[in-house]
Structure 1
């Protein structure tokens, strides 16, 4: 009985957990935080960062000597020799056996003392690569934040557009119902009634289209968050007032200077220049001599010896230490070509930084101008919307009284719908561009 109760409560907990997840409401902050945790590209970049950390450790380890132990064991068969003589350590061993066994044991060390500073430059390069990998992670995070913000505001725009189309459809239906009364009274023709009925159908189509756009934007957001497309996703859509739309825009040059100092793509390009300088120094190290120190201790054994294994190891023991100096004289232009290619890469990295800086300025300038234009369009759309609403209300009332015809009513209705759409479009364009400007200026994304 207890086992059944445990199974029941476990199943109930699972159901409640799944149900709670399905009913979770997602704010913009929730979406961004989830993407920063689950996005595949970002996770891959973090793995690359971990790899760069290993590369730094490997480069540092190259400063130390290497140590290795080697042993070899051989069985030698001489089928046609009456006897054989071999040298094992310090003794000459003579044997009548056609098959002998010998073993060798050695411990050796190798240490590069100097190679033109190539190892030190490699350490510096790997550290720069690690910093670049960190900046790549930050750049991917910024891209995710920007793209999610754009999608979220597109969803806000689409949602408000749906509400506008719903209101328009309700007005069309009410107008059509009133038109049927006027038609029954003989105040309007059948053609006018049919025209108003067609308008209802058109408004229904516009509503379906706007709802389809809203679903599509939500699907894109799910895909960016790596969520299952079938999962129900309820968004927490904030209400953004006029004050948010018409906020004073930040100074364009101040935003650019802040972005130059903080944006990861700019810092990454600067580090690439530093890396290119180090690459030139590393390539030039090929002109310098290299000095290395080696040492080893070894011994050997043979089963034909009259001495036991310990004695053979003792008498065969020898030590060696050596110093090697390698001076490059002619290497088929490899070093010179490497230096020239490193110089080309340095020049390319300088141009890449200039391109990134120009691209950043263009992006900020475009955002600033788009935000300013959207604010001005919003202010104009507000005035147009008020006049269109007043005009439509008057014509609609006159139509109810039989004083205006169908064409005049539909014209005013379409003017009102156009003004509403222009206003909402300008509203979210202004908010989006202002939000991204603040983000480039180093502020957190907030709606």
Structure 2
């Protein structure tokens, strides 16, 4: 809705009472000549929003790899060197064949266990055997990538819509400018003829002044709207992602349009044709996986592990560096079982949240279906109204042209006044303006209908 308002406002800027043609003075090979499809294709490659959305897709791919990697073998190496400032004392009390007599002294026997310098170096391999949360998490991450892909498609649809509307704005404006340029040339011709008649004394000064006023208004409008059309072209280049300093010329004109397609042959519509509905379905799937993931955390986790390393210890650091005499290898393998028992009902609370999220998404689905139905109905009516208005304004413009031609003929033959000619010309310009406003609205309505039907 916001984009539509922007384009309507942008069009109204260049929809002053009279519009002129922008002269496309180009050097051979210096301008880019684009059809509508060319503009769309360029935008799909260069639009900044699409580039960012594609980067989000790449991030999602990396996230899938990150989660999958957690189920692959994990290998870690570690090493440490310790200087024991004060060795921990071991206390032994009672008869112990491994403890020398205490010299008759009563009480426990204490002795230091260890060496001044000790070291450890090893490598550990762990492999996930079973973790329900992991397997569900992989599925959820793949669904997250699917959501990112669909978001990219939605961005494509938005970009297409914006480019089409901007292209139509330039196309309609250029067509109007051609007509007003012709109007200006026609008024110049009449003004020059009247000036000659005045110089020869056949008409009054008032006749010349009245035509000059009309000429000056058209010329001022010409200059103002010439700059407005430049803004419209800049907007089109912005939507395409084209550098603003690059020249752009559109190839198609109103005469290339097939106006009967405004009354679109509406096919059997499916809600899944709308990317927004497909995105909502994916969000439901993702939320369901998140709930399953939390439930899977109640299951035991099984990991296998294997260790191999060396330990060493000496009271002299130099002796410790004699690896062949001071270090001894060790190795072990095993399986570790972790059973969750109680977490303060944290997982239960998370599951309840996910259930409520699914209920909200169900409501969102119903709201979206109703909104889509409303959009389609409104777009159909807007297209019908716009086409009817366009046909009426086209007829009015032709009638106004006939009136002006008759007034010009009478003025040329000397049986009509400049006032009558000026009024007829003003009415003709007004009907031209109304026609092109109706044409613009019809084209915008068609884009809205195509968007509502998911055809973009």
Partner of 1:57: 65
In structure 1, which of residues 386, 396, 412 is the aligned counterpart of residue 408 of structure 2?
396
- Shift in alpha-carbon separation, 1:104–1:241, aligned structure 2, 3 A: closer
Please say if residues 155 and 217 of structure 1, whose CA atoms lie closer than 8 Å, have aligned partners that are also in contact.
yes
Please say if residues 138 and 264 of structure 1, whose CA atoms lie closer than 8 Å, have aligned partners that are also in contact.
yes
**What do the CA deviations read for 1:27-63 (whole angstroms, capped 9, x no partner)?**
2222222211122221121111112112222222333
CA distance in 2 between partners of 1:126 and 1:265 (Å): 20
**What do the CA deviations read for 1:224-274 (whole angstroms, capped 9, x no partner)?**
2333322222222335257x113472354x3642xx233322211110011
Are 2:124 and 1:108 aligned? yes
CA offset at residue 423 of structure 1?
2.4
CA distance in 2 between partners of 1:360 and 1:166 (Å): 43
Q: Secondary structure at the match of 1:240?
A: helix
CA distance in 1 between partners of 2:331 and 2:31 (Å): 78
CA distance in 2 between partners of 1:227 and 1:386 (Å): 39
CA distance in 1 between partners of 2:120 and 2:381 (Å): 79
Partner of 2:104: none
> How many correspondences in the alignment?
407
Please say if residues 291 and 351 of structure 2, whose CA atoms lie closer than 8 Å, have aligned partners that are also in contact.
yes
CA distance in 2 between partners of 1:248 and 1:136 (Å): 29
Please say if residues 245 and 430 of structure 1, whose CA atoms lie closer than 8 Å, have aligned partners that are also in contact.
no
In structure 1, which of residues 419, 426, 445 is the aligned counterpart of residue 438 of structure 2?
426
Q: Secondary structure at the match of 1:106?
A: strand
Are 2:255 and 1:240 aligned? yes
Q: Which runs of 5+ in 2 are unaligned?
A: 1-26, 91-97, 100-111
Please say if residues 179 and 193 of structure 1, whose CA atoms lie closer than 8 Å, have aligned partners that are also in contact.
yes
In structure 2, which of residues 310, 328, 336 is the aligned counterpart of residue 323 of structure 1?
336
* More helix per residue: 1
CA offset at residue 185 of structure 1?
5.6
Which deviates more, 349-358 or 381-390? 349-358
CA distance in 2 between partners of 1:37 and 1:327 (Å): 50
**What do the CA deviations read for 1:107-138 (whole angstroms, capped 9, x no partner)?**
334445445x2212211111111111111111
In structure 2, which of residues 40, 45, 49 is the aligned counterpart of residue 41 of structure 1?
49
Please say if residues 207 and 418 of structure 2, whose CA atoms lie closer than 8 Å, have aligned partners that are also in contact.
yes
- Shift in alpha-carbon separation, 1:206–1:367, aligned structure 2, 3 A: farther
Match runs of 1:408-427 below 5 Å: 408-427=420-439
CA distance in 2 between partners of 1:294 and 1:395 (Å): 98
The two structures, once aligned, show a CA RMSD in angstroms of 3.4
CA offset at residue 221 of structure 1?
1.5
Partner of 1:88: none
**What do the CA deviations read for 1:152-195 (whole angstroms, capped 9, x no partner)?**
11001110111121111112222222333444465554334322
Structure 1-normalised TM-score?
Answer: 0.80
Please say if residues 397 and 428 of structure 2, whose CA atoms lie closer than 8 Å, have aligned partners that are also in contact.
yes
Please say if residues 56 and 123 of structure 1, whose CA atoms lie closer than 8 Å, have aligned partners that are also in contact.
yes
CA distance in 2 between partners of 1:421 and 1:120 (Å): 64
